[in-house]
Chains A and B, each alone.
Chain A
Amino acid sequence: MTTTIADRRIEDAGLEAGIARLTPEKIQKTIQAVLAGEGGARLKTYVETCVRCGMCAQACHYYMSHKDPSYAPVAKVRQTMWEILKHKGLVSPEFIHQCAQIAYTECNLCRRCMHYCPLGIDTAYIMSFVRRICHKLGVTPQYIQDTAHSHSATMNQMWVKDDEWIDTLKWQEDEARDEMPSLRIPLEVEGADFMYSVIAPEPKFRTQLIYQAAFIFNQAGVNWTMPATPGWDNSNMAMFTGDMEIMGRIEMAHFATAQRLRVKRIVMGECGHAFRAIYDVANRWLGWGMHPVPVVHSIEFFWELLNSGKIQMAKKYPGPVTIHDPCNVIRGRGLMDKLREVVHAICDGVVEMTPNREHNYCCCAGGGVINCGPPFKNVRIVGNSIKAEQLKATGVKTCIAPCHNCHGGLDDIIHKYGLGMELKFLGDIIYECMEKKGAS
């Protein structure tokens, strides 16, 4: 069935309030300024070069789930950027609502479509550009905008106050000492080998992950530290709302913290989008060609720990398990082989999904989509029935997904489609099955 974005309008406090402030003239002025300032050869080439062949349709899980052409990557561009350019920005507030709904909630910026487009058109970039315009127009979904506000006010995503962060680490250190009396979460240690950074939902809701990481690092005997200042959060929702200035400020704080601590590397928890922000988005906005301090995703770090023998598995996790490849560290960083080596080292039996590796389907939570909150929840769950089928086809009961967003997204579809699967982080399994010599 063919619909258009107009047929599926969703009410959102942020979007409604945003468009209420707009007139076509105001919109045009802002859009022209954004195009003049930031629209360069990439945008121009992409829009002009696209031959409208529709090959990219099958790339997108939204299209594959709905089989509605208006969800195809190129269709998203048609319903947003092409119209904007055709009308030189003179479009209605309602049209901007549609742009925002598409760009923020119907595209995960997962970059799968680049494997389908013969011309290499980066639809994710175009959607990011539409988001930038929407941000500049003040039309952003309420919940993700709130996280961007939090970032600006606290340098973390969840309004965690300066003391709450430290307090949480001290608390987790205490908890973990019941299990390993000598355990430390070393704060502010200058010259440590690496700084461990996490996303704000960890201290807020998933403290167990900090506990586990601390346990693994202590058991491995590595020289690490965590900062006791803002700059600890590696997540970056401003990157997804289109607030590049706050995006840059967050990463500036993050890198400056690592530089202040004189660590060799930043090791980050199992999060995908944070990796993207640090690895090849925000650093560029700040003028750095690559990250100024190397950033190592947990997948790679666990791989190092296992390969160097610093941690040993007491047993293997009973399988079979399947592996979900998070876009931002697979298409975004090529960690598919290391991920497999780690999973094979810690689990008994792996059933691969098809397609997998660089071709894997997105979880449909990434790109800030899950952060747009309840109004759009159904869209991303229904929009990923293809993933549900993919999971189901493996026939296994455990899925390993080394990414927070993926957990959120997959959890929802597992429930919705009654898949009865359990989701695991690598850290969950390593912590559960490793040799715990240091434990009392």
Chain B
Amino acid sequence: MQADQAWDWEPGARTVLEDATACAAPHEWTEEPEASPDGERLAAVANLGDGRFTVCVNAEPWETDFEKAWYLRFSPDGRLTAVTMEDGMWTVSVDGESWEESFDFAWGTTFSADGGVIAACIQSEGTYGMIVDGTPWETLHENANNFRLAADGLHTAAAVQVKSLGQADIATFQQGIFSVAVDGEPWDAIFVNCFDPAIEQKTGRAAATIRRSLYDYSVAVDGKAWDAAYDCAWGPVFHPGNGQVLAPVRKKGLWGMAGDAGFVWNPAFIQCHHPQFSADGATLAAIVAPSFGKFTVAVNAAPWSATFPVVTDLRVSPDGRTVAAQASNDNAAFRVLVNGSVWPGVYDMAYGPVICPATGQVAVRVEKDGRQAFVLGGKAHPETFDRAFNPIFSPDGAKVLLRGISGKAYKRIVAPVSAFTG
């Protein structure tokens, strides 16, 4: 989430909406609210009765209402999207305006990093693909999944089924029926499976984990598969500098990181997933398990010494100097990990660390005893909420925007870094 200098960064708290469940139109109920990135609007789907739905923004309903409306999401640039249905046909509505075309089904709205591009998945007469800013793929496929929109919004990709399959036809499946489609157009190459496509920014090159047979995992880049075969592999990532593709792969029961030319991280881990590069590509981090049941983060192949039963939500700052993640045990006792050290706080839930791109500071929304709060650098802000939204740093990193609902009121707080004293 990139903050905008133009937002109101005046320190202090402001109640944006007295009643977070309010809706000016007569209604039966409102659903889970979403807050806009700048904190100025709170939106929720409202049931108007008689099977009609609309979206309320700061209690004001959209002009249109729908047979169905759900999956309310703000794009990073502040536009509000919902997946909506009318007369049995689905589409995406942006700030109350539905895209022109509607489909037998539409779902899974996603955004480019800056929010400038909005994409979704569509099904039309049993064929599948994506739609980008209202324009569907020219070619739709018998099936598609693993949908992706590039971070720069220029390209989309998905794993697509390019050959038909009869009932229980295991032979045809094993000959390969899947490929990866970029902007709808499939690669020439066909594989047994294609998983987790990744798209390189600008170039639109795509890479995916593939299965060439039931046993042979590898990675294909623009349809060309690596020679090497592995026992298993997770989704690939592009090196942002040189375009090299890397993926966690498993060999002889152990995981490492491999590229086209072989291992770049030796297979020494019981598990290795979610690799992530810094913007310059100099730092590569991943969640790893150096031994069974003990997870941590490895940065450039070197694991941190502290291990935990579970580690998730790995984040790498653009400059690579800050690597953060969260740890848990039995989905409780959440801890925040930053550059190998552990914050003292233990929480009932943590919602993923947020790294300030300017300063490398880390803030996290956490939950304890049913209240949500914000912690920065291990220190809590005094305000707590019934339900909050993730923190956003001001462009200079001096302040943090806190958004949350306490009681009925939806509040927006600009907290200077110094306000985190707990």
Contacts and interface: CB of A to CB of B under 8 A. Distances in A.
Direct contact of A and B (CB under 8 A): yes
Interface of A: 13-14, 17, 37-38, 135-136, 138, 142-143, 145-146, 149, 152-155, 161-163, 166-167, 170, 174, 177, 181-182, 184, 186-191, 228-230, 243, 245, 248-249, 252, 259, 262, 264-265, 286-290, 292-294, 373
Interface of B, helix, strand, loop or mixed by DSSP? strand
A287 B289 contact: yes
Contacts, number: 121
A184 B53 CA distance: 13
Interface stretch (B3-11, B131-139, B209-217, B297-305): B209-217
Given A153-B161, A230-B145, A293 B331 contact: yes
B32 interface: yes
A129 to B, nearest CB: 15
Q: Which 4 A-B pairs have the closest CB atoms?
A: A289-B293, A287-B271, A163-B105, A287-B289
Contact of A162 (B68, B70, B108, B292): B108
Contacts of A184: 31
Contacts of A286: 271
A143 B168 contact: yes
B205 interface: no
A163 B145 CA distance: 10
A1 B260 CA distance: 59
B292 A287 contact: yes
Given A228-B71, A249-B195, A287-B271, A163 B107 contact: yes
Contacts of A243: 214
A187 B71 CA distance: 8
A152 B309 contact: no
5 contacts: A162-B145, A191-B387, A228-B108, A249-B195, A292-B328
B71 A262 contact: no
Interface string B1-41: 00000000000000000000000000011011000000000
A162 B232 contact: no
Given A161-B128, A161-B143, 10 more contacts: A38-B253, A145-B170, A149-B174, A162-B128, A163-B104, A163-B105, A188-B71, A287-B295, A288-B309, A292-B309
Contact of B121 (A14, A162, A191, A290): A162
B252 A37 contact: yes
A163 B107 CA distance: 7
Nearest to B146: A230
B349 interface: yes
B178 interface: yes
B32 A186 contact: yes
A265 to B, nearest CB: 7
Contacts of B104: 163
A154 B309 contact: no
Contacts of A252: 273
Interface in B41-93: 51, 68, 70-71
Given A163-B121, A182-B29, A294-B331, A146 B170 contact: yes
B310 A292 contact: yes
B293 A287 contact: yes
Contact of A228 (B107, B192, B214, B332): B107
A373 B31 CA distance: 43
B293 A161 contact: no
A145 B330 CA distance: 33
B173 interface: yes
A13 B169 CA distance: 10
A161 B168 contact: no
A125 B293 CA distance: 21
Nearest to A162: B145
Given A17-B171, A186-B32, A167 B105 contact: yes
Nearest to A243: B214
B292 A289 contact: yes
Interface in B111-146: 121, 123, 128, 143-145
A21 to B, nearest CB: 11
Contacts of A230: 145
Interface string B262-289: 0000000011010000000000000001
Nearest to B367: A191
B231 interface: yes
Given A152-B211, A161-B143, A287 B270 contact: yes
Contact of A170 (B29, B68, B214, B313): B68
Contacts of B232: 245, 248-249
Nearest to B196: A249
Given A188-B71, A245-B232, A289-B293, A138 B351 contact: no
B354 to A, nearest CB: 14
B384 interface: no
